[in-house]
Structure 1
Amino acid sequence: MDNKGGIIVTELNELLYDKKLECPVCNEEFATKKVRISRLKLIKRDEDLLSYYEGENPLIYNVFLCPNCGYAATESRFDSVSARDKKILLEEVASKWSKRSYGGERSIDDAIVVYKLAFYIGQVLDYDKVELGTLAHSIAWLYRIKGDQEEIRFLSITKDLYEYSYYNESLVNAKGAKRDEIKLAYLLGEINRRLGNKEEAFKWFNGVISNPDIKSSPMLEKMVREQWRLTRNE
């Protein structure tokens, strides 16, 4: 595997394109690389849903970072900046930022830096814990692709954030979309399994299997039963 998270190296100029953006914090225009999803071929997917592709992995480019002020967020979140958020970001991030760009081709290490900044910004802006957990999970995946044991630390952070969200946050997010409770419970089972927390993994897997709504997700049901058996045999 190459250090980009792909299996076979493909010409980057065939896979990447420039996306032009205007920063909602400082109003500067900049460009950042994106992956042409139509050109990708899925190779495999880990049980906690990390996907591997032939060529570049779009995970590496899913966070946009303004080179002028340092604002970083996922593509789906990038434009969601309130007047309050803007004030906080100017004080807590932009005032301390040394201008630099991550808008070109990124290494895994570049992606980790960008995601960690997005995670920090999520903490500063008090994102929902499930959203912070998703960022932490992505960082763990990047370390996995790199083959770095820091993956374990970020999986542990992910577990704590997902668990808090499961028990304490609304199933409907700020945009009115319903979160997938079963998928979150499955991920908590799989992450606990990867961390060696066998009894916790069983608890979450059993909860998913006994949930009648699992019948509407046959692929997830198959995955959770397979991981339940794997955990039993470990």
Structure 2
Amino acid sequence: MQQLTPAYDKKCECRVCRQSFTTKKLRSRFVKAADYDSDFCPNYSDETMNPLIYHIHTCPHCGYSESEDFSPYFPPGALDLIHSKVMNAWTPQDYGQDRSIIDAVNTYKLALYCGTLKREKHIIMAGLLVRLAWLFRSMKNADQEHRFLKLALKEYLESYMSDDFKGSSISETRIFYLIGELSRRTHQPEQAVKYFSKVIELQSRSTEPKLIEMARERWYEMRQEQKTAAN
């Protein structure tokens, strides 16, 4: 009997050039996070079993890159932009095999560029940016992690202001918590406290008590830090 491998080939069709290709995915039974950071970054004892590495599908024929969260809709003019700025500049390369973490970083940057050209929702862009920050965290690259956390925070704030997270898997409680936590991690304590307070205010109608508790813990930690600094 053939032994099941952690990775398998997923068949894809590029939404831009319409050519078929395969990309690697990890079977969920092999993926086990050891624990999670306070911004939901999963930590894996075996970093090669990190599904974030295979989150992006990159067409080897034209370079168009996206995650499964991308909308199938292309606004007027978006396809022309992708043709001129991505396809015409693409040197054929295949990210459909086993990826290094550097390969993964390259696919995220391609997806961010494609998402910008097709005016993808802020909540989708925020998700890409925070995952890219997590990859840099796993590489112990604090400068790049901080850079992409700040960019993710900006997109989460835009998403909240424009309500474009509505209808996604991100609840109001979660987006408030993420804004608070990313503000804390990027050294913006006043904004962090403001959004953690918003989470706590939702406790009577939220269905996510764990998030309320996490926000309360962060809020308390920050208050203690402020008192210590004042003394």
Same fold by TM (over 0.5)?
yes
Q: Distance in 2 between matches of 1:90 and 1:16?
A: 31
Are 1:198 and 1:231, in contact at CA under 8 Å, matched by a contact in 2?
A: yes
Q: Distance in 2 between matches of 1:74 and 1:200?
A: 30
How far is 1:167 from its partner? 1.4
CA 1:130–1:51 in structure 2 vs 1: closer, same or farther (change >3 Å)? Answer: same
Q: Distance in 1 between matches of 2:65 and 2:204?
A: 36
Q: Distance in 2 between matches of 1:46 and 1:179?
A: 18
Q: Distance in 1 between matches of 2:75 and 2:212?
A: 43
Secondary structure class of the residue paired with 2:5: helix
CA 1:83–1:226 in structure 2 vs 1: closer, same or farther (change >3 Å)? Answer: closer
How far is 1:130 from its partner? 1.8
Q: Distance in 1 between matches of 2:158 and 2:204?
A: 22
**AA at the equivalent of 1:148:** N
1:45-194 alignment, distance < 5 Å: 45-55=36-46, 56-77=49-70, 80-82=72-74, 84=76, 85-149=78-142, 150-173=144-167, 177=168, 179-194=170-185
* Map of 1:7 onto structure 2: none
Q: Deviations over 1:83-127 (max 9, x none)?
A: 844333222210111100111111111111100110011111111
**AA at the equivalent of 1:44:** D
Secondary structure class of the residue paired with 1:224: helix
Aligned residues: 218
Q: Distance in 2 between matches of 1:158 and 1:14?
A: 34
Are 1:208 and 1:214, in contact at CA under 8 Å, matched by a contact in 2?
A: no
Are 2:123 and 2:165, in contact at CA under 8 Å, matched by a contact in 1?
A: no
* Map of 2:228 onto structure 1: none
Q: Distance in 2 between matches of 1:162 and 1:213?
A: 24
Of 186, 201, 214, the residue aligned with 1:223 is 214
* CA RMSD in angstroms, aligned pairs only: 1.9
**AA at the equivalent of 2:54:** Y
For structure 2, which runs of at least 5 residues remain unmatched after alignment? Answer: 226-231
How far is 1:39 from its partner? 1.8
For structure 1, which runs of at least 5 residues remain unmatched after alignment? Answer: 1-12
* Map of 1:5 onto structure 2: none
How far is 1:53 from its partner? 2.7
CA 1:213–1:31 in structure 2 vs 1: closer, same or farther (change >3 Å)? Answer: farther
Q: Distance in 1 between matches of 2:163 and 2:87?
A: 30
Q: Distance in 1 between matches of 2:224 and 2:202?
A: 23
Q: What is the TM-score normalised by the length of structure 2?
A: 0.87
Secondary structure class of the residue paired with 2:21: strand
**AA at the equivalent of 1:64:** H
* Map of 1:22 onto structure 2: 13
Are 2:121 and 2:164, in contact at CA under 8 Å, matched by a contact in 1?
A: no
Are 1:214 and 1:220, in contact at CA under 8 Å, matched by a contact in 2?
A: no
Q: Distance in 1 between matches of 2:184 and 2:199?
A: 15
**AA at the equivalent of 1:101:** D
Are 1:24 and 1:81, in contact at CA under 8 Å, matched by a contact in 2?
A: no
How far is 1:81 from its partner? 4.6
Are 1:40 and 1:54, in contact at CA under 8 Å, matched by a contact in 2?
A: no
* Map of 1:4 onto structure 2: none
